[in-house]
Structure 1
Amino acid sequence: MQTDQVTSEIFPHNVQQTLDLIGIFVFALSGGLMAVRKNMDIFGICVLAEATALGGGVLRDLVIGALPVAAFTSFGYFPTPLVAGVVVFFLHPEVERITRTVMVLDAAGLGLFCVTGTIKAHTYGLGAVPSVACGMLTAAGGGVIRDLLAMEPPSLLRWDREIYAVPALVGSAVVAILIGMGRLTPLYASLAAVVAFAMRMLALKYGWRAPRAWHRNGSRTSEE
């Protein structure tokens, strides 16, 4: 059985699109909330919502040459972040109060997008390592764009934040290994997404952070 055929049909189209829209909406909420914290107007809120939700997928599609990018051709992908932006504009106190729920859904979106990003990159002919990189880019790239637009250090590069890119990297790597073994199925792809989701949730619960430079200036300093 051809691997490309398997990867391109791993999830039914309607299921895939529904999951994508849910993930896009939740990512957009986080972008909108960042804009509110930065005291931006409605335009800024919608811009950050769009960038957070779609930025990773747009970058991935540009890298692999999937043009025009899915964000502008797939039904609902572009309008959904606008809806989320409007929700944040009017209801941001309520959205802030359910931050924990948003973080759980964000972790689920992370798991989904790292898997689908890896699969799509492989389908377009990339090898295992570039496909893993594209999977991580799909899941975490929007957050980087959001932080840069908000003039913040990207959160996934900050040592004082729970790991975010690492779970996406692990989920993407699991998918690449399954593809290489010819064992990628909807069940295994879903399990890879669950692995990334579980890692992110455990990181939030236990404060997992990536290690800093070994023997860095004799250990910790006052910048903590």
Structure 2
Amino acid sequence: MLIALEMIGLVAFAGSGALAAVQARLDLFGVVVVGLTTALGGGIIRDVLLGITPPTTLRTWPYLAVSAATALLVFLFHPQVARLRRAVLLADALGLGVFATAGTSTALHAGAPVYTACLIGMTTGIGGGAVRDLLLREIPLVLRKEIYAVAALAGCVLVGVGHLLRLPPGLVTTVAAVTTVTIRVLALWRRWNAPVAKGTPPSSFT
């Protein structure tokens, strides 16, 4: 179940990362690197935090192959993909839900406490996108006003609660992933944003 969910997330994140790289005018190599980083970055961070070395995604070739193939396809057919803006945003939301909840489940199976597993799961969901934005010289999406990390954390908490209640893991993970995706999509549709500070505070460095 976890492997199937992670493969769906890989395609979603690799595609969104590769499209962002194409729009930033990177070459083929750059597009594939950014696609791989977006897809695998969160999982690598998760495994490092859990002491799983080398990381799972670097030991199992399908993770690299699926991510690289998705990035290559986006590079070749980016005009068609770019026209599907809503589909790309939905794919990114899907990847967020899948990776956050699967990351939480993996941490729980590795023996991490529930609160630690939730934080690791959230990091798994947002990590690849944060590294992608840094590579493209942008402020990471999770640090801006959009509802992104909060949606991931909501799904992670549901997985943690389900674990404490000893509910079926597969069902809990699926429901939690759907919840994360729903919150993210509703935030995009309704333009929900986290509050930001009003005005511009004086800089302490001047």
TM-score over 0.5 (shorter chain) = yes
Matched residue type, 1:212: V
Counterpart residue identity of residue 32, structure 2: C
Partner of 1:187: 171
Q: Give the gaps of 5 or more residues in structure 2.
A: 201-206
More divergent stretch after superposition (172-181 vs 47-56): 172-181
CA distance in 2, matches of 1:157, 1:79: 30
Aligned to 1:209: 193
Identity %: 39
C-alpha deviation, 1:138, in angstroms: 1.0
2:73 paired residue among 64, 87, 92: 87
Q: Which runs of 4+ in 1 moved over 3 A?
A: none
Candidates 22, 45, 50, aligned match of 1:36: 22
Shift of 1:181: 2.2
Aligned position for 2:85: 99
State the partner residue of 2:203. Answer: none
One-letter amino acid of the counterpart of residue 159, structure 2: V
- List per-residue Cα deviations over 1:159-203 (Å, max 9, x = no partner): 2xx311111000001111121222243222211111111101101
2:132 counterpart (127, 146, 154): 146
Partners of 1:175 and 1:184 within 8 A in 2: no
Structure 1 residues not aligned, in runs of 5+ = 1-10, 219-224
Q: Is the 2:35–2:68 Cα contact (8 Å) retained in structure 1? A: yes
Distance 1:44 1:63 in 2: 27
CA RMSD of aligned residues (A): 1.6
Q: Partner residue of 1:134?
A: 120
Give TM-score, length-normalised by structure 2: 0.91
What are the within-5 Å matches in structure 2 for residues 105-124 of structure 1?
A: 105-124=91-110
Aligned with 2:148 (options 164, 171, 179): 164
Residue 90 of structure 1: CA displacement?
Answer: 1.3
TM-score, normalised with respect to structure 1:
0.84
Q: Give aligned pairs, total.
A: 200
Q: Return closer, same or farther for 1:57/1:198 CA change in 2, 3 Å cut-off.
A: same
